[in-house]
Structure 1
């Protein structure tokens, strides 16, 4: 049976550009989205954690979806993050994103209140029942404090609009169980697990690192699909130093991605409480990026 891919394979968790005055820079967002698609992404996730969704208003979220939809056209899947700690608010965000042109919705587990599994399941069902587009559930217990347990996912897979999972749980065994027993499409949300998850039937990735290296990330999947697993493993290993610096250095991926984008001549601004990376971190990121792309033609350099 072929792997279901409701939202294509190579998705970027896109940063949200801000102007000097602090507002959204929709023109920069449109340019960045176009560059990402040209560089190897075949889908975009907006208004996620990397997109600084905790600090953007509902109106800004809607405006971003509309601007990116206009920029990339109808053929590129757009998934809009609509997660919140409040089910009612999540439903409102979901309906707004659908009206703005989103093809799917990324819905994170309610956070902070740490609801038990029956409440988690009810939350996702309420959102799925309220819209006409498919949902990607976001399992990231390190941020939310609550896992979407395997048995919960097995039940939710029966809902016709719950079709995918962004997997940041770091539990390949649990993911394999769900993959074996449901049609849910699994997208890696942790770059170091992109290839391992893909190899056991995952659908692709939703990547923060793709903001700066969409081409190298996609090349791993291309090599695997071509049957060259040794090449896929080699390309995957080449990405690990940059991935580690961006995603495991103690700074949010938003900060490290924007440090690189700013160094490339684009907009690296972010909203508080996030602060820009210091010069030492930015220099290390640039060195890792240059090593990754050295000698590679058209590596997917992206500018905002």
Structure 2
């Protein structure tokens, strides 16, 4: 059995959030659900200035970089509308860094500084009211931020069909982080966001994992040793404007694993064009159809002698 049930959004863990998300006139939205993406875009368009707050939870879920993408794109959009002079932006993250890999975190700190974005660390969103976002910080100290626009990255967890079974550990499917075989049931494999592997939960990671699982399942069915191994690869292209962004690529233990022959932590136009023109095709025609298992071949072409 192969399990890949993904994650669900736990709106109920933040009092007041679901009610305001469902309110069509409230300035509260999230891009982490197709139910609220259109509302998010409407909120950005109707925003006339004031304090905009973007949040990120302690328990990271699917595509953690998206929480910053929407913020940087909103900043660029409001700059083009010429309302940046009356706009302030805050990013409240429960983490202690802007990104889990120091190389890219350093670049994103510079991006935030250049755009006058106030970054607040160790703040966990615990309640949303029509005008205020309530956070807890170090020592359970409460911080309240007023807002005219609020984008929330909700806490996430595997669906009940998995989290209530004996296949899980700490709520996630317990698999070996290299073979992706279940640690107790050898006929069970897992991939994607629902697993316990300590990697970034992205589509790029799932693409590589699917190849590892398919090869190891065939080996298991034929009584052979599991030879395919997952390195923890994940990728996160983070748009920092309508002109460019950075492309984070890394493996377990925060090891850098970049594909292109340049420093991907620096903002580049290529990131924008990849995100706009290439990745949608790669997703729908490659990943979804099982024809794309990551950029390893491209990496060998660009770095024939290794890095």
TM superposition score normalised by structure 1: 0.29
TM superposition score normalised by structure 2: 0.29
Whose strand proportion is higher, 1 or 2? 2
Whose helix proportion is higher, 1 or 2? 1
